[in-house]
Structure 1
Amino acid sequence: MKKILIVLTALAAGLVISVARSPLSPNDKLRVAESLVANYYVDTVNEDKIVEAAIVGMLKELDPHSSYSNPEETKAMNEPLEGSFSGIGISYNLNQDTLYVLQVISGGPSERVGILPGDRVIAVNDTSIAGVKISTSKIMKKLRGPKGTKVKLRVLRRNAGKADQFIDFVVTRAEIPIHSVDAAYMADDKTGYIRLNKFAATTPDEFREAVKKLRKQGMENLILDLTDNGGGYLSAATALLGEMLTPGSLTVYTEGENSRRQDIKANPKALLPLFGKGRLVVMINQYSASASEILSGAVQDWDRGLTVGRRSFGKGLVQRPFPFPDGSMIRLTIAHYYTPTGRDIQKPYTKGNRDEYAKDIITRYNQGELQHADSIHYADSLKVHTLKLGRPIYGGGGITPDVFVPLDTTFYSDYYRDLNAKGLINQFAIRYTDTNRKKIKAEYKDANAFEQRFNITQAMINELVEMAKKEGIEPKPEMLKRSEPTIKNVIKAIIARDVYGDDNLFYRILNSNNDIYKAALKLITTDEYDAKLKRPELIDL
């Protein structure tokens, strides 16, 4: 035994000496480092942990979007894009350490057993979740589970004028759809509005259904809202473009150092696009990214429509997933996205400097780009021309809209920030709804009546101010005056959604105070639209 140890020690010493004397390839160096840690480190080593740390550290030296995710993170990242999860079919809010049911999905497992909006879930499988400061993620784990499994819920139901009830339900978990179409409604007699929150596997079918529904209501023109849409599947974006562009049109191409150019064309089966005619306006802002930029860029390049808002995020890197058997994954950047005119969507970045990249939106704000159109300056080398009309447009990162809408900061105040930071506007709206749900439904028979006649009173604002005082936020009258119209708009929208379960109503109310939406609606309904979509030599001076 003693001889074996002497031999092993000598071999290890020889390894270290050879490492010191001979140059190693980077791969060999990494293997040697791992071996040294495994064989010589003073304490027990968690190999899984240090290998993960090494992978993360390696990827951090590359572009800002190459990443590693552990099995749990990978599942959480993929689930929203796959279009469904297994759960009980409610949307909820944690209010004062109590799970408050906001909406019950129509036809879902909770509706089938009789759970109602306004119910409070106080226990899951006989374990209390009320008043115990449980996190949203832990509640989610308790409520979700394999399809067909059962979960026992104890619910507190408040009945106006009657004693509160404690009711036990057994809910059988089922597949719950995750919708990417937030809203689809008629903005006027001829103009439809569709809002997308992501580009998921189900997005093309959801979009087609929304277009068909709006067509039956008289839609001729379409506003497509991609503000705050961070992207998703490339295939979903190109499928939507297939419903807008001439069949066979190039939608995007990808190319990288180790990845040959790949052209992706619209509707390769040459089917008639669902929305191939009619005015089209795409809303974008600084948080519209990736697939949102592919769609808005192609619409702009082909002169199919106009973009309105602020320059988009600028994420034009293609990540390929490389899954491991344990469920973890590396998402490695393999190529760039280019619009049909050849514009690189990706904004500039420095390898290994993710902090600077993460602060880009703040930098743009501080430089005035979000507030002033003339603060954006492009080199002539970045100028290209649209493919049908020859209009000048620019590359250099992100999609610059045809019509700029400045960020409205006039309503913003420190008081508004503090209310939002503690979630008090949302909490107030939920409490008000809980107390007045039946009264509201009795007075406003339907969503339209509510939208037209319901107003946030000064008494309600005073109640919000008192709630904020109890949370340590002192009244600031001048700041409140500045922010009050926005606060009232948000409260009304939340109450509307919670009482009527109508997301279209929620966004109709919010959009009444949305400058990008207002600009899009003005553009699509006036001669300005045609004036913007003219060949440069035909534009009247």
Structure 2
Amino acid sequence: MNKNTKIILPLFITVVFVGGILLGNLLNFQDNSFSGSSPKRQKLNRLISFIDKEYVDEVNTDSIVDLTVTSILENLDPHSAYISKQEYDYVQDNMRGDFVGIGISFYTIKDTIAVIRTLEKGPGEQAGLEAGDRILYADAIPLFGNNMSSDSITELLKGPANSKVNLKVKRLGENDLMNFEINRGLVPLKSVDAGYMLNDTLGYVKINRFAESTYSEFKAKLEEFATPEMKSVILDLRNNGGGFLKQATLILDEFIADGKLLLFTKNKNGDLKETYATDFGSYEDQNLYVFIDEKSASASEIVAGAIQDNDRGTIIGRRSFGKGLVQREMNLGDGSAVRLTVARYYTPTGRSIQRPYEQGNTEAYYSSYMERYTNGELLSKDSITTDDSLRYETPKGKVVYGGGGIIPDIFVSRNASQDIQDIKFMYEGGVMDRFIFNLLDEDRAFYNALSESEFLERRLITEAVLDRFTRYLGDYDLNYNFGSSSYYLKKHLEATMAKQLFGSDLAEKISNENDPYINRLLRSEKSLAKD
């Protein structure tokens, strides 16, 4: 496998995940049209019962049912999906925005659990756990050894709210094991990565998905950093695969005036459901900029489309993914669920941004997406194909198009340098994390004692560290000569270190230095504000 393939393959997996993100309300959907007397249901029941009783070999009929459901959904559209019982809890935690546990992220290093960092305000942080701690026992059960999977360890550390877990921990520099009694509690899974003032008048908020807690996180973050002098806001929705429709519309309501249409949905019967802005917006007078890219999907596209169609702000970046289908969740009664496409959504001008798909041909659907990486679209706006039959105009006469994602008002090309793309993938995909963890482990007392200002002043990613990272990649048969891209590599290694030591706010600040989107905006902000 060559180096480019190694980069593209994980990206494709990411896109598959993005395509399956839930958009809509979670409902315990009940419908009697598929009742026990239905001939269709009897047909399936008879077949499964016949296999269970008569098939010559032992067979797991539960797995046959799973396969049947998956096969049915694969023949509908690319975004209807089956969620197995094993996957369901993880998916629910991710979309709820919190889970019950002790609040740590960890690696398994040489068969031992090592704390990467404690999550802010989580039970682990409050109890005194630190990055670099090795957790050896939970309630006297050994967590070390080759027989413990990450899933098994996670199950031991999670538990009912307010329940206790007793940990024995080895801390570097301490001779004896340390004992921690931790009350499990709600641990936030942040959907707002960062928020800060880029300069005296320009605020910045990065949202990684739209979970149940996103709007409250968003409001709290803005109230935390916004100043009276803030005249403009950036919503960074790059790499945001979507999530809950309600959270997207609540955020839109903060910026769009009362009575303006935000979106509408249409089901198979042609029934329309329209969503309008209310008079609760706190930021309707600020200039607004929305960053999107080819991995911005679903709820992210709702936000960008509503902003664009209402002439409310400026969309900056590259054409978004193109998902305009609404899913509703139905619990199947055994811990698994189905998310079924039940409607399409439309932007205020009436355009659907769903990319074309052929029923039952999911592979072709994602293959057409991957062509963006080879047909020049990510490098030049002129390479984006549009259909004049899907041409629309905003109230101020701006031309916009349906049929496959939101096309930005200002185009920012993907950097053509393969080295820079590889560095970005290593940063976003976690390749740098283990290297930085090992580096911090060499002197935990020093690194854990640093303040943010001391960390920034010291510039700890030196040329020697860059050389070590290159050799580290070589140990995994990844051979690079970063050359002129070394500045970019240094910034992302520094951001990775900042994230492990201080969290995502500082990491985003560092990784955003010389960001092409921000630079493009800053060059043209005065003229955009006048428009």
- Is the TM-score greater than 0.5? yes
| Compared CA separation, residues 457 and 45, structure 1 to 2 (3 A) | closer
Partner SS, residue 183 of structure 1:
strand
Conserved 8 A contact 1:122-1:130: yes
- How far off its partner does 1:232 sit? 0.7
Partner SS, residue 342 of structure 1:
coil
Which ranges of structure 2 fall in alignment gaps of 5 or more residues? 1-37
- How far off its partner does 1:27 sit? 5.6
Aligned residue number for residue 117 of structure 1: 131
Aligned residue number for residue 9 of structure 1: none
Aligned residue number for residue 31 of structure 2: none
Residues 163-312 of structure 1 mapped to structure 2, 5 A cutoff:
163-216=174-227, 218-258=229-269, 260-267=271-278, 270-271=279-280, 273-312=281-320
- How far off its partner does 1:456 sit? 2.0
RMSD value, Cα: 2.7
Any idea what the Cα deviations from partners look like across 1:381-400, whole Å, max 9, x if unmatched? 1211112x111111111111
Aligned residue number for residue 465 of structure 1: 470
Query: Aligned equivalents of 1:228 and 1:287: distance in 2?
Result: 5
Identify the match of residue 146 of structure 1 among 155, 160, 165.
160
Does residue 1:519 correspond to 2:526, yes or no?
A: no
Which ranges of structure 1 fall in alignment gaps of 5 or more residues? 1-23, 534-541
| Compared CA separation, residues 205 and 128, structure 1 to 2 (3 A) | same
Does residue 1:313 correspond to 2:331, yes or no?
A: no
Aligned residue number for residue 348 of structure 1: 356
| Compared CA separation, residues 307 and 116, structure 1 to 2 (3 A) | same
Query: Aligned equivalents of 2:476 and 2:70: distance in 1?
Result: 40
Conserved 8 A contact 1:181-1:207: yes
Aligned residue number for residue 51 of structure 1: 65
Query: Aligned equivalents of 1:383 and 1:491: distance in 2?
Result: 44
Query: Aligned equivalents of 1:418 and 1:295: distance in 2?
Result: 26
Query: Aligned equivalents of 1:505 and 1:97: distance in 2?
Result: 31
Does residue 1:454 correspond to 2:443, yes or no?
A: no
Aligned residue number for residue 25 of structure 2: none
Conserved 8 A contact 2:432-2:496: no
Any idea what the Cα deviations from partners look like across 1:301-329, whole Å, max 9, x if unmatched? 00110111111111111001111222221
Query: Aligned equivalents of 2:108 and 2:58: distance in 1?
Result: 41
Aligned residue number for residue 21 of structure 1: none
Partner SS, residue 200 of structure 2:
coil
Equivalenced residues, count: 494
Conserved 8 A contact 2:419-2:482: no
- How far off its partner does 1:518 sit? 2.7
Query: Aligned equivalents of 2:500 and 2:430: distance in 1?
Result: 16
Which protein, 1 or 2, shows the higher relative CO under an 8 Å CA cutoff with sep ≥ 6?
A: 2
| Compared CA separation, residues 133 and 421, structure 1 to 2 (3 A) | farther
Does residue 1:397 correspond to 2:399, yes or no?
A: no
Query: Aligned equivalents of 2:506 and 2:183: distance in 1?
Result: 30
Conserved 8 A contact 1:237-1:294: yes
Query: Aligned equivalents of 1:202 and 1:94: distance in 2?
Result: 30
Any idea what the Cα deviations from partners look like across 1:204-245, whole Å, max 9, x if unmatched? 111112222233363221011111111110010111111111
Conserved 8 A contact 2:427-2:492: no
Query: Aligned equivalents of 1:453 and 1:527: distance in 2?
Result: 38
Identify the match of residue 101 of structure 1 among 94, 115, 122.
115
Query: Aligned equivalents of 2:323 and 2:429: distance in 1?
Result: 31
- How far off its partner does 1:57 sit? 1.0
Query: Aligned equivalents of 1:35 and 1:460: distance in 2?
Result: 62
Any idea what the Cα deviations from partners look like across 1:310-358, whole Å, max 9, x if unmatched? 1111111100111122222111101111101111021111111111223
Percent of aligned positions with the same letter in both sequences? 36
Q: TM-score, normalised by structure 2?
A: 0.86
| Compared CA separation, residues 411 and 482, structure 1 to 2 (3 A) | farther
Aligned residue number for residue 495 of structure 2: 493
Conserved 8 A contact 2:122-2:188: no
- How far off its partner does 1:248 sit? 2.0
- How far off its partner does 1:438 sit? 4.3
| Compared CA separation, residues 359 and 126, structure 1 to 2 (3 A) | farther
Aligned residue number for residue 505 of structure 2: 504
Conserved 8 A contact 1:282-1:307: yes
Q: Which has the larger radius of gyration?
A: 1
Does residue 1:480 correspond to 2:482, yes or no?
A: yes
| Compared CA separation, residues 304 and 422, structure 1 to 2 (3 A) | closer
- How far off its partner does 1:295 sit? 0.6
Partner SS, residue 249 of structure 2:
helix
Conserved 8 A contact 2:127-2:181: yes
| Compared CA separation, residues 397 and 482, structure 1 to 2 (3 A) | same
Conserved 8 A contact 2:167-2:181: yes
Query: Aligned equivalents of 1:508 and 1:414: distance in 2?
Result: 19
| Compared CA separation, residues 522 and 151, structure 1 to 2 (3 A) | farther
- How far off its partner does 1:459 sit? 1.3
Q: TM-score, normalised by structure 1?
A: 0.84
- How far off its partner does 1:448 sit? 3.7
- How far off its partner does 1:189 sit? 0.5
Conserved 8 A contact 1:252-1:264: yes
| Compared CA separation, residues 419 and 188, structure 1 to 2 (3 A) | closer
Partner SS, residue 241 of structure 1:
helix
| Compared CA separation, residues 418 and 165, structure 1 to 2 (3 A) | farther
Partner SS, residue 439 of structure 2:
helix
Any idea what the Cα deviations from partners look like across 1:433-489, whole Å, max 9, x if unmatched? 2334544577x6x424533551521111222233344x243754xx33154233211
Query: Aligned equivalents of 2:254 and 2:428: distance in 1?
Result: 40
Instruction: Out of 255-264 and 227-236, give the one that drifted further.
Output: 255-264
Any idea what the Cα deviations from partners look like across 1:262-301, whole Å, max 9, x if unmatched? 111122xx33x11111111001111111110001110010
| Compared CA separation, residues 144 and 518, structure 1 to 2 (3 A) | farther
Partner SS, residue 192 of structure 1:
strand
Conserved 8 A contact 2:357-2:365: yes
Any idea what the Cα deviations from partners look like across 1:164-205, whole Å, max 9, x if unmatched? 442122222111122211101010011110011111111111
Does residue 1:380 correspond to 2:364, yes or no?
A: no
Query: Aligned equivalents of 1:100 and 1:46: distance in 2?
Result: 37
Query: Aligned equivalents of 1:414 and 1:276: distance in 2?
Result: 36
Instruction: Out of 101-110 and 333-342, give the one that drifted further.
Output: 101-110
Conserved 8 A contact 2:266-2:345: yes
Query: Aligned equivalents of 1:126 and 1:258: distance in 2?
Result: 59
